[in-house]
Amino acid sequence: MGCRPAPASRYHIQDERNYCGASAAMMLLAEDNIPYNTLSQGALFASNHSHNANPLWETDPVGLEYTLDNHPQVQGRFFGVHKRLTQLDGTLDVIFSVCSKNRSCAVLVDYRHWNVVYDVQVNGNVAGGVYEVMGFCLHNPVWDRQWNSTVH
pLDDT per residue, tens digit, the chain (152 aa), is 677 766 655 788 899 999 999 999 999 998 888 888 899 999 999 999 999 999 999 999 999 999 999 998 887 777 888 888 888 898 899 998 898 888 899 999 888 899 999 999 988 888 777 888 999 998 899 876 655 445 44
The pairing of beta strand 105-109 with beta strand 113-125: antiparallel
**In whole angstroms, what is the distance from residue 45 CA to residue 95 CA?**
27
